Amino acid sequence: MSMTGALDSDVNQFPSFAQELRDRSDEDLTKLFSLRPDLITPVPADMTALSTRATSAPSLLRALETLNQWQFQVLEVCAALSDPFTPKEVVALSDKAAELVIAHLHSIALIYRDNRGYRMPRAVRDILGNEPSGLGPQSGSPIDFKVIATAPAAAKEVLDKLTWGPPRGQVGDIRKKGTPIHWLLENQLLIPIDTSTVALPREVGIHLRGNRVHQELLISQPILEGNKIKSADIERAALASISNTLRWVQELMNFWSEETPTALQSGGLGVRDLKKASEHLGVDETCTAFIAELAYLAGILNVEADGRILPSTHFDLWQNKEPEEQWRDLVSLWKVTSRVAGLIGRSDSRNITVLSTELDRSNAALIRRLVLDLLLENPGIAPTVKSAQKAVLWRYPHRRGISITAELVEWTLREAEWLGITGGSALSLYGAKFINDEENLGINTALPKPVEHILVQADNTAIATGPLTIEVARMLSTFADIESRGGATVYRFSETSIRRGLDHGHSGEEIRSFLTKTSKTPIPQPLEYLIADVAKKHGKLRVGFANTYLRCEDQAVISAILSDKKLEHLALRQIAPQVLVSDTESDETMEELRRAGYFPSGENAQGSVVNLPIQKRSKSRPKPPRIIGEVLKPSDQMLASALRTLRTGERVAKTRPIGDIPRTTANETLDLLNEYLGTGVALRIGYADANGGVSLRIIDPLSISLGTLVARDHATNGITPFKIARITGVTTA
């Protein structure tokens, strides 16, 4: 037999990657699509197209990122061997446990079978690189490993430096004789790359490593370390966190409906506005930023076209839901979002702000899922951050986003505690039920019921003994400031808070009546005097909204303002005994007057007092940020449909080349369709979609009515209507 004939025989003997995919059973292909859902998004035309997609760089990177550290090490061992390789060879260079991993690597099509063992697609080798695990290129010459024992000391030192990589080294000149490099080159223990570069052959590297590829085999996940927490303590802490999170969201939205911030020109919330909101909530800025991001994700916070950051009308709907539903809405979005609140405040290039467009990280949802799985597998343990990072990095040892993977683990643990998924850093019952997609989490029954009363104290404070109903909390927040939070919330009444209530349209009598009705304790006299005094002063001084006038019937107040040095920068001018004007904006003038201790109110063109709206809402439709995440796992129905489509495509490919779409005239199309109606004969049709693209479909025509063909589509195995006007051609299959 000639050499050419032998080669042809060899090529025919070993199947290609596409052919090996064709030979796989339906069960094997279904498993492949389940593990690599991007392969059927959308469904390829046939197995050749499937093999092309499976070896494309984006798809391979996704597949590699599903491997843990041990699986990745076994893949590197496979890459260190020449095609074809056997499981026995892989085990010899690693461990007996590699056999199960080889089966998994075959299932996800990172390796494929031939008649003598396994092969690795060239694209996989290219992604892993030419030097897997720091091993050099393969030698083209036979190597006598016995000569290593006789090597000069200097030559052994060179080998030691190259053994564990990198396998390449720079030398002065490889042609110089009498040197250790020259001795190693003569004995094929080094490979010349160019006149000043040498490399350690792969075979020599494996031999020097003790017939192994990796210095340490990471077969099992690092043990999660941490304190054991009592379940009662976990649930108590988790409930407190859940209650706090829901309250923070409501308080922040109510605060921004009154004190509306404006987005920066570069996008996002300004540092000052974040600090102001943080002081209002009584939590640090990191937590406030996280709460704002949660609201933004849920669509209950919106950024208007004019830059105003306001609650949307969805907030009112969200408030009327049960606490469990509110919590599930927030946590479900947090789990899958690609936005990373932990990045806020970092200044790698410039400061990253809340609600900005720079918070997306493509692996964020994957890291969260890995952390939650880790917690689920270790109930009752409050893991240390370092041990959790080690465990997650073992499960996800890859390069995409690796710079913040460890930080993402830390941020996920912190945010899970804020949300109540964990309590005292250990997984809570509610978090476990949520991760397992249980319908009833038990939050509604565990949380205390909202109360409708407060206890007004003699020191101008009021205590809410539990969570307040929406109506009471909303009303109280307009003229009282939250002083402390916890099991009970303490509100404080002050000149500023009462004035805010008056600005929002409540009269002094309304405030007093509300407190009398809501409080289970009598209203102390000092508080009544405070409300009456502020109400009496409020509105005497009126600020116009036309750049800008001040009007007051009390001449003494006018005189006091004109002589007040704190207001000199407003450049106020008296144009009448009771009227002052200024070139500053009315909003700024009102703010400065309040800081100086006056009590102005707004006035419209008719001279009536203008009250601020009680609850401002965004008028535009909420646009929650898009989620940049992984391809979702397909359903059983989708897997079955994809498999039918591929098998159908294969049958078509055997009879006609791909892309050979039939073309017939309109009359020929109708004649052929009518001829084969109900006969059970399969037809091939070209069908145009709404965008003008034409696809090949195999159908059994059933009936024609009102310009529509009803047929059984072989790809979906379902009855499908086809517009006859879109059928470009018909022929028998």
Residue 109 belongs to some domain of the structure: no
CATH assignment at residue 175: 1.10.10
Whether 321 and 440 share a structural domain:
yes
For the CA atoms of 664, 666, 671, 676, what is the dihedral angle to 10 degrees? 70
Residue 438 belongs to some domain of the structure: yes
CA contacts within 13 A on the Cβ side of 341? 26
Whether 276 and 425 share a structural domain:
yes
Whether 266 and 379 share a structural domain:
yes
pLDDT at residue 615, as a whole number: 58
Residue 646 belongs to some domain of the structure: no
CA contacts within 13 A on the Cβ side of 199? 18
Whether 459 and 442 share a structural domain:
no
Residue 135 belongs to some domain of the structure: no
Taking the CA atoms of the chain, what radius of gyration do you get in angstroms? 36
pLDDT at residue 621, as a whole number: 65
Whether 496 and 584 share a structural domain:
no
C-alpha 448/C-alpha 471 separation (Å) is 17
Q: What's the sign of the alpha-carbon dihedral 606, 610, 615, 618?
A: positive
Which residue range is the domain that position 246 belongs to? 226-446
Residue 241 belongs to some domain of the structure: yes
Whether 203 and 238 share a structural domain:
no
Among 398, 424, 446, identify where a domain stops.
446
Residue 5 belongs to some domain of the structure: no
Residue 410 belongs to some domain of the structure: yes
Number of residues that make up the chain: 733
Whether 507 and 442 share a structural domain:
no
* Contact (CB, 8 A) for 413 and 383: yes
User: Which mean pLDDT values do the consecutive 10-residue runs of the chain (733 residues) have?
Assistant: 36 69 92 91 82 89 91 95 93 95 95 91 89 87 87 89 86 77 87 85 92 93 94 94 92 88 89 91 92 94 89 90 94 93 74 87 89 95 95 83 78 96 96 94 89 90 85 83 79 88 82 91 90 82 69 87 87 86 82 85 72 60 63 80 82 58 79 82 82 78 86 78 88 76
Whether 285 and 371 share a structural domain:
yes
C-alpha 226/C-alpha 221 separation (Å) is 15
Residue 274 belongs to some domain of the structure: yes
- Report the 10 Å Cβ neighbour count for 60: 21
The residue written with tokens 């279904």 in the block is 30
Among 528, 549, 564, identify where a domain stops.
528
Provide the greatest CA pair distance for the chain: 119
Whether 196 and 233 share a structural domain:
no
pLDDT at residue 546, as a whole number: 53
CATH assignment at residue 694: 2.30.30
Whether 563 and 685 share a structural domain:
no
3-class secondary-structure state, position 280: helix
Whether 361 and 506 share a structural domain:
no
pLDDT at residue 378, as a whole number: 95
Q: What's the sign of the alpha-carbon dihedral 170, 172, 174, 179?
A: negative
Give the total number of structural domains in the chain: 5
pLDDT at residue 350, as a whole number: 60
Whether 341 and 394 share a structural domain:
yes
C-alpha 250/C-alpha 579 separation (Å) is 41
pLDDT at residue 570, as a whole number: 85
